[in-house]
C-alpha cells in the first residue's frame, strides 16, 4: 500500500484510502460495527499491510473492522478483566498491592479490533484533567506499597512530551516508586511520534523507566518501527514486549518464532504472550488455552530462551493474571517432560535429609 498522509478514523476514511472496498462498506453490519468500536489506522500501519483484506493479512486483520465483530458471545464482557472494580480513584487501577495502572488518557494511535478495553478507549474517551491527574498522583504518593506505576490507557506515548515530562517527574519524585512502566503501541503503530524530544521526556533521575511494546506480528516491525525502538534503547530504556495470541494473526509456531526473534534482535525482550480476553465482538480472534500451550511447547525447543515470553491469562472478573503453562512437571508422577516430549523421572528431595 502507498501511504496516505493522515490516520483513517472512520469506515469512510478507510474506503477513501482504498483499504475497504466500497461495496463491503455498504453493508449495514460493518457500518454499525465501525460506529460502535473506534477505528483508527495510521499511514505507517497501512503501509505495513501487504493486503488490506483482514482475511489474508495479519496486520489488516488487527485493524480493519469486519462484520464478525457484530457477534457478541454470551461469555463476552464490557470490562473483561474487571478493571472497574479495582479503581479507587479515576485513572488508577490497583489490583496488586505493589503496582498500579495509571490511565492518563484513553486515546491510542490505532484501534485494535481485539482490544480488551475497546469499550473504554476511543476518540470520545476523555483524558484525566489536571485535578484528576493530581488526585491519581496523590493516591500513589499516599500508598507506600506501590513500587511500580504502569502508564497505560489508552497509549501514554500519545501524550505531548511536555505532559509526559510532568508525569514522569512527579512519579520520579515519589520515593517509594521504583519503576515507571509505559505500555505502548506507538513505536510500531506511529513510529514518527518517537522523536528525540519524546524519548528525552522519559528521562528519570531515580526510578527506572521501562517501555513495554505491544506487537503481534514481525510484519509490524518495519524499518521505521525498528528505528523508533533503537532511539529508545540507545537512550538506555529497557524494552519489553507484550503480544496477544490471535487467531488468523499469529496462531502458528513459525509466525511466533519470527516475531520473537525479530523483537529480541530489536533489543526487545518478549515479556508476555496474552491469551485473548473475553472482549465483546472478538470471538473470531480467540483460540483455546490448549492450542496456546501447544504453540508454546513448539517454541520451547526451537528458539532461544531470550525469545520465550510467559503465556498468561487475565482471569475474567478481575482475579488477576496467571501463567497458563504449558507445564513440564508432573509432581504426582515425579516426572518431567523434555522439549522433545520425552519423559524422565525426577524424585523429590528425601524427607529425612536434615
Residue positions annotated with a catalytic role: 95-96, 99, 108, 112, 115, 117, 277, 314, 321
103 binds ligand PLP (CB under 6 A): no
Choosing from 185, 226, 280, 286, the residue that interacts with ligand SF4 (CB under 6 A) is 185
Min. distance of Cβ 271 from ligand PLP in angstroms? 7
Q: Does 115 bind ligand SF4 (CB under 6 A)?
A: yes
99 interacts with ligand PLP by CB under 6 A: yes
H, E, C per residue of the chain: CCCCCCCECCHHHHHHCCCCCHHHHCCHHHHHHHHHCCCCECHHHHHHCCCCCCCCCCCHHHHCCCHHHHCCCCCCECCCCCCHHHCCCCCEEEEECCEEEEECCCCCCCCCCCCCCCCCCCCCCCCCCHHHHHHHHHHHHHCCCCCEEEEECCCHHHCCHHHHHHHHHHHHCCCCCCEEEEEECHHHHCHHHCCHHHHHHCCCCCCEEEEEEECCCHHHCCHHHHHHHHHHHHCCCCEEEEEECCCCCCCCHHHHHHHHHHHHHCCEEEEEEECCCCECCCHHHCCCHHHHHHHHHHHHHHCCHHHCCEEEEEECCCCEEEECCCCCEECCCCEEECCCCCEEECCCCCCCCC
Instruction: Choose among ligand SF4, ligand PLP, none what residue 225 binds, the Cβ cut-off being 5 to 8 Å by kind.
Output: none
CA distance 134 to 113: 32
Stretch that binds ligand SF4, among 14-22, 112-120, 291-299, 321-329 (CB under 6 A): 112-120
Contact partner at residue 210 from ligand SF4, ligand PLP, none, CB < 5 to 8 Å by partner kind: none
- CB 136 to ligand PLP: min, Å: 14
- Examine residue 108 and tell whether it contacts ligand SF4 (CB under 6 A): yes
- Site membership for ligand SF4, residue 182 (CB under 6 A): no
Minimum distance of ligand PLP from residue 282's CB (angstroms): 17
Residue 96 found at the interface with ligand PLP (CB under 6 A): yes
Q: Within positions 211 to 230, which residues make up the interface with ligand SF4, using CB under 6 A? A: 214
Set of cell numbers at residue 227:
528505528
Task: State the minimum distance, in angstroms, from the CB of residue 214 to ligand SF4.
Answer: 6
Sites for ligand PLP among residues 65-94 (CB under 6 A): 81, 93
Q: Which of 61, 95, 117, 286 binds ligand SF4 (CB under 6 A)?
A: 117
Cell 520473537 identifies what position? 260
Picked from ligand SF4, ligand PLP, none, the partner binding residue 147 (CB below 5 to 8 A depending on kind) is none
Q: How far is the CB of 118 from ligand PLP (least distance, A)?
A: 16
Note whether 121 binds ligand SF4 by CB under 6 A: yes
Binding site for ligand PLP (CB under 6 A): 81, 93, 95-96, 99, 101, 150, 321
| Interacting residues toward ligand SF4 by CB under 6 A | 108, 111-112, 115, 117, 121, 155, 185, 214
Amino acid at each position: 500500500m502507498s501511504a496516505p498522509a493522515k490516520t483513517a478514523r472512520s469506515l469512510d476514511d478507510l474506503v477513501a484510502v482504498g483499504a475497504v472496498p466500497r461495496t463491503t462498506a455498504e453493508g449495514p453490519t460493518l457500518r454499525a460495527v465501525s460506529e460502535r468500536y473506534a477505528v483508527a489506522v495510521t499511514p505507517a500501519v497501512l503501509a505495513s499491510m501487504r493486503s488490506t483484506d483482514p482475511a489474508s493479512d495479519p496486520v489488516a486483520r488487527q485493524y480493519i473492522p469486519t462484520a464478525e465483530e457484530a457477534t457478541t458471545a454470551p461469555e463476552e464482557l464490557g470490562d473483561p478483566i474487571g478493571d472497574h472494580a479495582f479503581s479507587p480513584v479515576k485513572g488508577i487501577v490497583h489490583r496488586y498491592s505493589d503496582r498500579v495502572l495509571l490511565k492518563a488518557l484513553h486515546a491510542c494511535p490505532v484501534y485494535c479490533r481485539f482490544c480488551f478495553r475497546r469499550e473504554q478507549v476511543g476518540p470520545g474517551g476523555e483524558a484525566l484533567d489536571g485535578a484528576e491527574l493530581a488526585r491519581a498522583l496523590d493516591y500513589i504518593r499516599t500508598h507506600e506499597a506501590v513500587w511500580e506505576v504502569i502508564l497505560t490507557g489508552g497509549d501514554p506515548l500519545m501524550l505531548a512530551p511536555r505532559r509526559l515530562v510532568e508525569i514522569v517527574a512527579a512519579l520520579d519524585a515519589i520515593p517509594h516508586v521504583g519503576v515507571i512502566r509505559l505500555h505502548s503501541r506507538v513505536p510500531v503503530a506511529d513510529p514518527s511520534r518517537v522523536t528525540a524530544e519524546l524519548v528525552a521526556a522519559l528521562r528519570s533521575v531515580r526510578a527506572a523507566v521501562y517501555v513495554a511494546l505491544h506487537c503481534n506480528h514481525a510484519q509490524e516491525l518495519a524499518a521505521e518501527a525498528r528505528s523508533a525502538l533503537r532511539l529508545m534503547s540507545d537512550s538506555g530504556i529497557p524494552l519489553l514486549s507484550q503480544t496477544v495470541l490471535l487467531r488468523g494473526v499469529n496462531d502458528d509456531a513459525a509466525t511466533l518464532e519470527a516475531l520473537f526473534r525479530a523483537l529480541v534482535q530489536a533489543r526487545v525482550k518478549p515479556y508476555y504472550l496474552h491469551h485473548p480476553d473475553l472482549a465483546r465482538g472478538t470471538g473470531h480472534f480467540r483460540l483455546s488455552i490448549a492450542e496456546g500451550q501447544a504453540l508454546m511447547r513448539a517454541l520451547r525447543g526451537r528458539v532461544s530462551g531470550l525469545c520465550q515470553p510467559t503465556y498468561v491469562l487475565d482471569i475474567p472478573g478481575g482475579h488477576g493474571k496467571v501463567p497458563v503453562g504449558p507445564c513440564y512437571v508432573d509432581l504426582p508422577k515425579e516426572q518431567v517432560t523434555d522439549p522433545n516430549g520425552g519423559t524422565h523421572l525426577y524424585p523429590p528431595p528425601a524427607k529425612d535429609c536434615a
